[in-house]
Amino acid sequence: MSHDPKLILSNFQLEGRLIEVKANGSGHINETYVSRFQTGKQEQRYIHQWINHHVFKEPPKVMENIERVTCYLQEKIAEAGGDPTRETLTIVPAVDGCSYYQTPQGDYWRTYTCIEGARTYDQVEELRHVYNASRAFGNFQKLLSDLPGGRLHETIPDFHHTRKRFETFERILEADRCQRAAGVKAEIDFILERQEQTGKVVDLLAQGMLPERVTHNDTKLNNVMIDAQSGEGICVIDLDTVMPGSVLYDFGDSVRIGASSAAEDERDLSKVCFNIEMFEMLARGYLDSAREFLTPLELELLPFSARLITLEQAIRFLGDYLNGDVYYKTHRPGHNLDRARTQIKMVAEMEANSDQMEAITHRYGS
Ligand code: ADP
Ligand code: GN1
Ligand code: MG
């Protein structure tokens, strides 16, 4: 499914003459486009996104969260002498002043200014990017640690509730509606054998042993803009899932790509390796931002969270494969299965390296 961004452009406060608009990005849920507008000799680019309302059931609440978060970040970045137009997202309002536009057909769109001189990476190309992106995610949590105005909306309830994800997986497996389970027995067993891990973080949160914080919840490497000159992680983007959560969700989710030698959907599993040097950069970058506010228990569980959230991703990808590929965009047959297999390989290798991972987080956490 794809939507025509040209039809919605006139509903936003955009200046100048449209030169072109084209698809951008590799996300699995929303659709992203980039446009070029000309005013006199100046050119301005914008990012336009169709918000998947089948996944984000209440897009106005998503946008309310994003408005609150970006406004607060803008203030803090300005106070610190930074550039709020590059270091956080800037919403371009619709003509009626709203942060989004709803079409007569019920689709939701938003527009941001395009951050120039920076780009995202779907997979690691330079080790310093791992450190810098991870530091940016830690800093994002730090800046939002005192966000005023009460709890953010949960844009997807129980998004990182790993035990509930596991239970959903069991139901999908039971139904086996596409009769695919018999072909992926090893992958299913890998997941089922790890059931007892899935409740750990959510139970500690429910018991008040782990604090709830404002977290990003989708900390893939390609959700940080990397500055073309400095290689710094200048801006955390993709804010749809910013909501109450645990820092362990963010740290954990960043490892599966930030410490992997291959793409999330690599078919050749011999290329998919957990790289301890990359993990060290990632942990150091994160802790250089987050060391000062993490509790001892959060710090202790960082290595576990990497295995847990990677397992959660395997559960979700394999679940979607078994369910007939209804959630994530896929670009080839077996795409979700390929993604699940890379995540499983990463979990297995992280398990084998858990002592070294612990040593690293202890070293940089104190
Ligand atoms: P998705 O949820 O589909 O991953 P993102 O918000 O991450 O959507 O955007 C997809 C890609 O578009 C990003 O990886 C990035 O390359 C680019 N992008 C998004 N927002 C901006 C922006 N404000 N400026 C420049 N590029 C952006
Ligand atoms: C989806 O939309 P995107 O590609 O940033 C998913 C994340 C997964 C990720 C796996 C709302 O993120 O939770 O971690 O794919 N987003 C949603 O790559 O489900
Ligand atoms: Mg993204």
Query: For residues 334 and 345, what is the distance between their CA atoms, to the nearest angstrom?
Result: 17
Percentage of the chain beyond pLDDT 70 is 100
Ligand 1 pocket, residue 32 CB under 6 Å: yes
Instruction: Quote the CA–CA distance of 328 and 149 in Å, as a whole number.
Output: 33
43 C-alpha to ligand 2 centroid (Å): 31
Q: Quickly count: other Cβ atoms within 10 Å of residue 60's Cβ.
A: 15
Pair of tokens at residue 205: 């949160």
Distance 45 CA to ligand 1 centre (A): 13
Q: Is any ligand 1 atom within 6 A of the Cβ of residue 27? A: yes
Q: Residue 14's pLDDT is what?
A: 97
Helix locations, the chain, DSSP H: 59-79, 84-87, 127-143, 162-175, 185-192, 200-206, 247-258, 276-290, 296-300, 302-322, 335-352, 354-365
Dist. CA 296 → ligand 1 center (Å): 34
Ligand 2 site residues, Cβ closer than 6 angstroms: 27-30, 55, 218, 220, 238, 241, 264, 313
In this structure, is the dihedral angle defined by the CA atoms of residues 14, 18, 20 and 21, taken in order, positive or negative? positive
**Contacts from 299-303 at CB under 8 Å and sequence distance 24+?**
299/361, 299/365, 301/200, 301/201, 301/204, 301/210, 301/248, 302/248, 302/251, 302/252, 302/361, 302/365, 303/350, 303/354, 303/357, 303/358, 303/360, 303/361
Distance in Å, CA 53 to ligand 3 centroid: 16
222 lines ligand 1 (CB under 6 A): yes
Instruction: Report the distance separating Cα 249 and Cα 305, nearest Å.
Output: 7
- How many angstroms separate the alpha carbon of residue 211 from the centre of ligand 1? 29
Between 3.30.700, 3.30.200, 1.10.101, 3.30.1490, what CATH number should domain 6-114 receive? 3.30.200
Atom nearest to 264 CA in ligand 2: 18
Pocket test for ligand 1, best of 73, 225, 234, 240 (most atoms within 8 A of CB): 225
What is the Å distance from ligand 1's center to 6 Cα?
18
Domain boundaries, the chain: 6-114, 127-365
Tell me the C-alpha to C-alpha distance, in Å, between residue 123 and each of 111, 257, 263, 281.
26, 7, 6, 15
Quote the crossing angle between the two packed helices 302-322 and 335-352, to the nearest 10°.
160
Phi and psi at 131, nearest 5°, equal: -60, -50
- Pocket perturbation via mutation, ligand 2, pick of 29, 168, 266, 331 by most ligand atoms within 8 A of CB: 29
Positive or negative, the CA dihedral 286, 253, 234, 66 is: negative
Low-confidence ranges of the chain (pLDDT < 70): 1
What's the CA gap between 239 and 326, in Å, rounded? Answer: 23
- Ligand 2: nearest atom to the Cα of 27: 4
Q: Which protein residue's CA is at the shortest distance from atom 17 of ligand 2?
A: 29
Residues 92-105, buried b or exposed e (16+ Cβ, 10 A)?
bebeeebbbbbeee
Does the domain made of 127-365 have the CATH classification 3.30.365.10? no
User: Is the dihedral angle over the CA atoms 89, 65, 217, 177 positive or is it negative?
Assistant: negative
Q: Which residue has a Cα nearest atom 6 of ligand 1? A: 238
Provide the pLDDT for residue 1: 58
Rounded to an integer, what distance in angstroms lies between the CA atom of residue 143 and that of residue 147?
Answer: 8
